[in-house]
Amino acid sequence: MLAVLGCAGSRDPDPDRDGIADDCVIPEHGLPADVFCTGLQLDRDPGQYVERVAPYEPGVTLWSDGAEKQRYLYLPPGTEIDTTDFDAWQFPEGTKAWKEFRFDGRLVETRLFWKRAPSEWASGTYIWDASGSDATLDTSRMPTIVGDDYEIPTAKDCGKCHHGGADKLLGIEAVALALPGALGVTLQVLRDDGRLSWAPSSPQARLPEDSTGRAAAALGYLHANCGMPCHSSRGLGDETQLLLRIRADEIWQLPQHGAPVSDATEAEAYAATVGVEPTTASVAQRFPGALRVTPGVHESSLLWLMTDRRDDYAMPPLVSHKVDPAGTKALAAWIDAMSP
């Protein structure tokens, strides 16, 4: 069953037709094949954006092998995000989030998550042609490699990481949008616009620090790159108990929660790593004697050893083919500054 967006009686979750051409075909489920039918850009022009779609950047971000990224959020007019559980936001029907990836200013892919019904998200990525004028939904089962080694994940891979979101989205969460580097749709903007069903009195946050003065940078890297997608109680890396996500209740005093942490050493990401042995037998065998974090020695700390490589033991274990130089450096600096 196909419905044409905008026709009388069609199932149109997006009352704002800006940018969506009349001849757009939107399937009942899933995503349209043409990126210009998703509602991000106007008049089939990759450089013109629909006004109601708001750009943003979380205060900590995922490393994507050096790609330049721009993110956009659309919340249908008059809707709010259910933030009753401030650490597990639930988005209104009709929510869309896009992420564009560019190299040297040239669009390579545009990823989309669209909440089409109360518990139905459609997701996928649009691959741009060489001229950068059109992009089509990627339906291949194998990843597409662009240039030397930039990997465009398959639709199946999206879920492996986005499973870590309480309601699919990952960076559109309290902590990431409240940190100093957050831009555009920040926690403050969402709160002031009446888009949150609940918000703390202070919509700003800082990551916890310890006596090294280097914990916040390292924990921020771990939060976005490991904790948000996998290493949390709701991600696929849960069984290792290597919990690296900074929870909202560690930052703010939330209803029905204990006091927030006053120092990084009280954070779960600290307790799960510093001086802790690995739980995975193959990892222990490959890196004998290494702890998750060996204070003072990044070379025998698994967090650094595994994020600083791209072989069978690499973290993250999918999509990325290049080490994040800034992230691994922040991690090493934190570990080396700890007293052994």
Applying CB under 6 A, the residues found at the interface with ligand HEC are: 58, 61-62, 71, 97-99, 111-113, 123-125, 153, 155, 157-158, 160-162, 169-172, 224, 228-229, 316, 318-319
Look at residues 279, 259, 273 and name the one whose alpha carbon lies nearest to residue 335.
Answer: 273
Question: At closest approach, how far in Å is the CB of 158 from ligand HEC?
Answer: 3
User: Cβ(48)–Cβ(109) under 8 Å?
Assistant: no
Question: At closest approach, how far in Å is the CB of 178 from ligand HEC?
Answer: 14
What is the separation of C-alpha 3 from the centre of its chain, rounded to a whole number of angstroms? 31
Question: At closest approach, how far in Å is the CB of 250 from ligand HEC?
Answer: 18
Place of tokens 């902590």: 175
Cα distance from N-terminal residue to C-terminal residue, the chain: 64
Helices and strands (H, E) in the chain, number of each type = 9, 11
Question: At closest approach, how far in Å is the CB of 172 from ligand HEC?
Answer: 5
User: Cβ(154)–Cβ(137) under 8 Å?
Assistant: no
215: phi then psi, degrees, rounded to nearest 5: -70, -40
Instruction: For residues 19 and 37, give the distance between their C-alpha atoms in angstroms, rounded to a whole number.
Output: 8
Question: At closest approach, how far in Å is the CB of 280 from ligand HEC?
Answer: 19
Instruction: For residues 27 and 283, give the distance between their C-alpha atoms in angstroms, rounded to a whole number.
Output: 45
User: Which one, 208 or 235, has the nearer CB to ligand HEC?
Assistant: 235
Question: At closest approach, how far in Å is the CB of 12 from ligand HEC?
Answer: 21
Question: At closest approach, how far in Å is the CB of 72 from ligand HEC?
Answer: 8
User: Which one, 71 or 247, has the nearer CB to ligand HEC?
Assistant: 71
User: Which one, 6 or 30, has the nearer CB to ligand HEC?
Assistant: 30
Q: Could you tell me which residues are beta bridge partners of residue 121? A: 115
User: Which one, 124 or 274, has the nearer CB to ligand HEC?
Assistant: 124
User: Which one, 294 or 320, has the nearer CB to ligand HEC?
Assistant: 320
User: Which one, 200 or 327, has the nearer CB to ligand HEC?
Assistant: 327
User: Which one, 140 or 197, has the nearer CB to ligand HEC?
Assistant: 140
How big, in percent rounded to 5, are the helix, strand and coil portions of the chain?
Answer: 25, 20, 55
Give burial (CB, 10 Å; 0-12/13-18/19+) of 104.
Answer: exposed
Q: Could you tell me which residues are beta bridge partners of residue 54? A: 73
